[in-house]
Amino acid sequence: MLNLRDPSLLREQCFVAGQWISAARTIAVTNPASGAVVAHVPRLGATETRQAIDAANGAWPAWRARTAHDRSALLARWHALILENQDDLARIMTAEQGKPLAEARGEIAYAASFIQWFAEEAKRVYGETIPSPISTQRIVVTKEPVGVCAAITPWNFPAAMITRKAGPALAAGCVMVVKPASQTPLTALALAALAERAGIPSGVLSVVTGSAGDIGTELATNPLVRKLSFTGSTEVGRHLMQQTAATVKKVSMELGGNAPFIVFEDADLDAAVEGAIVSKFRNAGQTCVCANRLYVHSKVYDQFARKLADALKALKVGSGEEEGVRIGPLIDDAAVRKVEEHLADALERGAQVITGGGRHALGRSFFEPTVLVGVTQAMRVAREETFGPLAPLFRFETEDEVVAMANDTEFGLASYFYARDLGRVWRVAERLEYGMVGVNTGLISNEVAPFGGVKQSGLGREGSRHGIEDYLVIKYINMAGIESPRTNQLN
Ligand SMILES: NC(=O)c1ccc[n+]([C@@H]2O[C@H](COP(=O)([O-])OP(=O)(O)OC[C@H]3O[C@@H](n4cnc5c(N)ncnc54)[C@H](O)[C@@H]3O)[C@@H](O)[C@H]2O)c1
Ligand SMILES: O=C[C@H](O)CS(=O)(=O)O
C-alpha cells in the first residue's frame, strides 16, 4: 500500500462523463522496480469511450460559453491542487513508472506549470481586424475552440504529457477525453480527481483506461472528435494519422527522437559531461529528448569519455523510493531487451564498453548506466531510439562531418551541442535539422518554449504561446452592407 497523505488520490476507477466507473475486467498496474501489483484499473473499450466522447460533446457548449477568465480561474484552481498534492502524486508516479522520487516531484511541478501557463494563455486568445478592400465591408478574424479533443499519452511522463494537452485544450474552450498508457494510468486518474475537485464541470475532462486499440480506434474515428493529440512512438503516430484521416481531424504528434549530443574541441568539458548526464540519463534514458548519439571531437574524445564514465559511477541505481537514487528501473523487460540488443549490435561491430555493460545486479528491469566507445554510424544505436541508460560515443574531426552525421536520421526532435566559438554556435544551431536545439545545455524542456519536432518526430508544438493554437480554429467574418446612411426604403 502506498504511504499517501490523501489515499483517495489512488483511483482504481475511470473518470467518464463526470462519474467514476468500474469494469468487470481490469488491468493490473505493477511497480517496475519490485514487480508488485500497485492497483487495478478498468479495462474499458469502445463503448465507454463513446460515452466519454458523447458527454464531452454535451458539455462543450457550456464550457466554451464560459468566459476565458472563468476557465482560467478553474485551471488555476486545478494547478494549485496539483501542487498541494505534489508528494502524493509523485509517490503514485514512482510506484507505477519507477522514476526516482526527486524526478517524479520535478515532473509534477513541470506538469503543473503547463496548467498555470495555459490558465494565463486562456485570456490571450486574440483575433484581428483586416483592412477591407471594399469600403462597405469590414473584415474580422476570430479564434474559436476546435471542439471535442482526444489525447493519447505515453508512460514515460505520466503527468506532464497529459497536462501539456489538457491545459491548452481546456484553456481554449475545448473538452477532452484522455487515454493514458496502461503502464501508468494512476497518475492520470489522480489528476482527474483533482480536476473534479477544482470544479471543472462534468464531461469536460474524462480519463479512460483499457485496450489501446479499441479505445484508440474510437477516439481516432468518431466524427464528434475534432482533434487528436498523440504523444508516443512514431510507429503508433503514423497509424493514428491514417485512422484520423477519414474524418479529417486536426492532429498534434509528439513522436520519437534520436537526439545528437555534440561536443566540439572548444567545449567546456565539465559542463558537457554534466549536460550529457542530464540529457542521457534522466528517467533512466527514457525520454524522447534524451541524447541518443554522443559525437565527440577527436581532440577531446578520450578525456570526455573518461570524465563521463567517472561521473556515471557516482550515480546510485535503485528503486525510485530509495533516498539518493538517481537511476531507476526501465519500464519493463522489453525495454531492457532493446538496450541489450543495441549494446550487443555495437559490440559485434567493434565498439567497447568502458563502464557498465549489462543488466544490473539488482535484477528485474534495472540496467547498468553504460558508456560505449568506438561507436560508428553503421550501428543500430545510430539509427534507432535506444530509450535506456546507454551512452554511445562517436568520434568526429570536422564541423561539416558531424553536422552531416547528426542530421542523418528520419527523426528531428531535440539536439544538443557544446561549443564556445560564437560563429560555430550560430552555424551549427542553424544547420541542425531539429525542432529544438540545446546550446551548452542538456535540459531544454519548460512550459514557455515551443516543444516539438520536425521530420518524423511529429507535428505541432506544445507549451509556449504556440501550444494553444493547436486547439483553436480561425473564423473569418465579412461584415458587409455598411453603406452611407440613406432614407429607409421601407417607409
Ligand atoms: N515527442 C514527445 O514529446 C514524446 C514524449 C514522450 C514519449 N515519446 C515517445 O514515445 C515512445 C515511448 O512511449 P510509449 O512506449 O508509451 O509509446 P507507444 O507509442 O507505444 O504508446 C503511446 C500511447 O499510445 C497507445 N497506443 C499504443 N498502440 C496504439 C494503437 N494502435 N492505437 C492507439 N493507441 C495506441 C499506448 O497505449 C500509449 O498510451 C518513444 O518513442 C518516445 O520517444 C515522445
Ligand atoms: O519524453 C519526452 C518528454 O517530452 C519529456 S520532457 O518534456 O523533455 O521532460
Return the ligand number nearest the Cα of 231.
1
What is the distance in A from the centroid of ligand 2 to the CA of 54?
31
79 alpha carbon – ligand 1 mean position (Å): 25
Cα 409 to middle of ligand 1, angstroms:
19
**Which segments within 14-147 are labelled E, that is strand?**
14-16, 19-21, 26-30, 37-42, 128-130, 138-145
Instruction: Tell me whether residue 84 is one of the annotated catalytic residues.
Output: no
In ligand 2, the atom with minimum distance to the C-alpha of 107 is 9
Q: Mapping DSSP to helix (H, G, I), strand (E, B) and coil, where does residue 387 land? A: coil
Ligand 2 pocket residue status of 445, Cβ below 6 Å = yes
Q: Which ligand is nearest to the CA of 107?
A: 2
In short, whether 181's Cβ falls inside 6 Å of ligand 1 is yes
Torsion over CA: 75, 81, 83, 89 (sign): negative
For ligand 2, atom 2, name the residue with the nearest CA: 288
Residue to substitute in 161, 255, 283, 292 for testing ligand 2 pocket (most ligand atoms within 8 angstroms of CB): 161
254: annotated active-site residue = yes
Exposure on the CB side of residue 113, measured as CA atoms within 13 A: 15
pLDDT of residue 488: 58
C-alpha separations of 163 from 6, 140, 235, 454 in Å? 21, 32, 23, 22
Q: Rounded to the nearest whole angstrom, what is the distance from the C-alpha of residue 232 to the centroid of ligand 2?
A: 11
From ligand 1's centre to the CA of 298, what distance in Å?
36
Does residue 155's CB lie within 6 angstroms of at least one atom of ligand 2?
no
Ligand 1, atom 31, residue with closest C-alpha: 213
Question: Ligand 2: does its nearest atom lie under 6 Å from the Cβ of 63?
Answer: no
CB count within 10 Å of CB 401 equals 11
pLDDT of residue 487: 61
Best substitution site from 288, 330, 385, 387 to test ligand 2's pocket, by max atoms within 8 Å of Cβ? 288
Backbone angles phi, psi at 372, to 5 degrees: -110, 140
- Centre of ligand 1 from the C-alpha of residue 53, in Å: 21
From the CA of 154, give the closest atom in ligand 2.
Answer: 1
Return the ligand number nearest the Cα of 334: 1
CB-count exposure of residue 235 (10 Å: 0-12, 13-18, 19+): exposed
The helix or strand, by DSSP H or E, that contains position 165, with its residue range, turns out to be: helix 160-172
Task: Output the pLDDT for position 491.
Answer: 54
Q: 0.80 cut: is pTM over it?
A: yes
Closest-lying ligand 2 atom to the alpha carbon of residue 254: 4
Ligand 2 touching residue 289 (CB < 6 A) = yes
The rounded Å distance from CA 152 to ligand 1 centre is: 8
Ligand 1 pocket mutation pick from 233, 283, 384, 410 by most atoms within 8 angstroms of CB? 233
Q: Is the CB of 156 under 6 A from ligand 2?
A: yes
Could you tell me if the ipTM is greater than 0.95?
Answer: yes
Cβ(157) – ligand 2 distance below 6 Å? yes
Separation of alpha carbons 111 and 163, rounded Å: 6
- What does the pLDDT profile of the chain (491 residues) look like in tens digits? 799 999 999 999 999 999 999 999 999 999 999 999 999 999 999 999 999 999 999 999 999 999 999 999 999 999 999 999 999 999 999 999 999 999 999 999 999 999 999 999 999 999 999 999 999 999 999 999 999 999 999 999 999 999 999 999 999 999 999 999 999 999 999 999 999 999 999 999 999 999 999 999 999 999 999 999 999 999 999 999 999 999 999 999 999 999 999 999 999 999 999 999 999 999 999 999 999 999 999 999 999 999 999 999 999 999 999 999 999 999 999 999 999 999 999 999 999 999 999 999 999 999 999 999 999 999 999 999 999 999 999 999 999 999 999 999 999 999 999 999 999 999 999 999 999 999 999 999 999 999 999 999 999 999 999 999 999 999 999 999 998 777 656 55
User: Helix, strand, coil shares of the chain as percentages rounded to 5?
Assistant: 40, 20, 35
**One of 288, 321, 368, 469 is an active-site residue; which one?**
288
Which residue's alpha carbon is at the smallest distance from atom 5 of ligand 2?
287
Distance 216 CA to ligand 1 centre (A): 12
Residue that is written with C-alpha cell 541508460 in the block: 389
Exactly one of 103, 254, 447, 462 is catalytic; name it: 254
Return the pLDDT at 483.
87
Q: Is the CB of 212 under 6 A from ligand 1?
A: yes
Nearest to 160 by CA among 203, 212, 210, 118: 118
Task: Report how far ligand 2's centroid is from the alpha carbon of 160 (Å).
Answer: 8
